[in-house]
Amino acid sequence: MRALVTGAEGFLGANLCAELITRGHEVTATSLNRRNKTSLEALNVECRVEYGDVTDSAFIDRIVSSSEADWVFHLAAISIVRTAQANPALALRTNILGTINALEACKRTGAQALIASSDKAYGDHDGAEYVEGMALKPIGAYEVSKTCADHIGQLYGAIVVRCANLYGDGDLNWSRLIPNSMRLALRGKAPQVYGDAIHNKREWLYVKDAANAYVKLAEAGQPGAYNVGSGEQASPLEVANAICEMLNIDKPEVVEKTRDFYEIPEQKLNVDKIKRLGWRHEFNLSQGLKRTGAWYEGYLA
């Protein structure tokens, strides 16, 4: 099968490309810019990469058509919450218009579309477990933009994927908790966590489990929204403590700093729907962190 992955030089995109290639699929990737360091390069993934902006409908039309893709995994987005909050117009334009362009191109060619949404689209439901039929209550610019993409994807009959917090090999975004904590700890320094969010509960999903879920959903070909998670919650402080213990650092440093964007206090995903298709997560948080730590140790060396 032929697959097109937009936003492929990012963390999830690169891991998805690697998984598709391992399974014998032909992969074409897109990226906004040529950068010196990308997750594709960090993971040693070799595939055809086309450079362009997903908000350019002519670019997307050309790539979807020329790749002769059977599956289009649309991951290209403004995916950093802080970036979206600082520039809402950019986030809304990229995440909404880019999604429309990808879906319109798939409509013309007959390719099956898979759209990356987020568990953050659900918003705050007072700690209740997220179920796919639950109302989406976005708050910040990132959440609103992903919720719009989510609804648009379902309007076009696409498969919409709502993943938990991802971590793992190839994440070069040092503003995220786990990459930065790994980098600091491997240098003998204490990881840092923000004091205003240390006890917020998050569900953590190893990126290879997420990539497997995307492929499973593509193979099943059943449109609709799907939660993808591990069922394992942990606060930022608990994650940082686990990294410290694993890498023999005394304890994390709590930084008394208030974030400039809203954090949902607790997130938990019900994954019964995707389990009925035969998907199961393979790695728990402890296993995933050990694999991630080994990858960063090799990469940063």
Domain 2-168+205-229+264-282, second-level architecture: 3-Layer(aba) Sandwich (3.40)
pLDDT value at position 263? 84
Question: How many residues comprise the chain?
Answer: 301
Return the pLDDT at 259: 65
Angle at 205 between CA 259 and CA 106, to 5 degrees: 95
- Provide the pLDDT for residue 198: 84
Does residue 67 contact residue 121 with C-beta atoms inside 8 Å? no
Question: How many other C-beta atoms lie within 10 A of the C-beta of residue 281?
Answer: 22
Domain layout of the chain by residue ranges: 2-168+205-229+264-282
pLDDT 10s digit of each residue in the chain, 301 long? Answer: 999 999 999 999 999 999 999 999 999 999 998 777 899 999 999 999 999 999 999 999 999 999 999 999 999 999 999 899 999 999 999 999 999 999 999 999 999 999 999 999 999 999 999 999 999 999 999 999 999 999 999 999 999 999 999 999 999 999 999 999 999 999 999 999 987 778 899 999 999 999 999 999 999 999 999 999 999 999 999 999 999 999 999 999 998 866 667 789 999 999 999 999 999 999 999 999 999 999 999 999 9
- Report pTM: 0.96
- Concerning whether 206 is annotated as a catalytic residue, the answer is no
3-state secondary structure of 126: coil
From 142, 156, 206, 296, active-site residue? 142
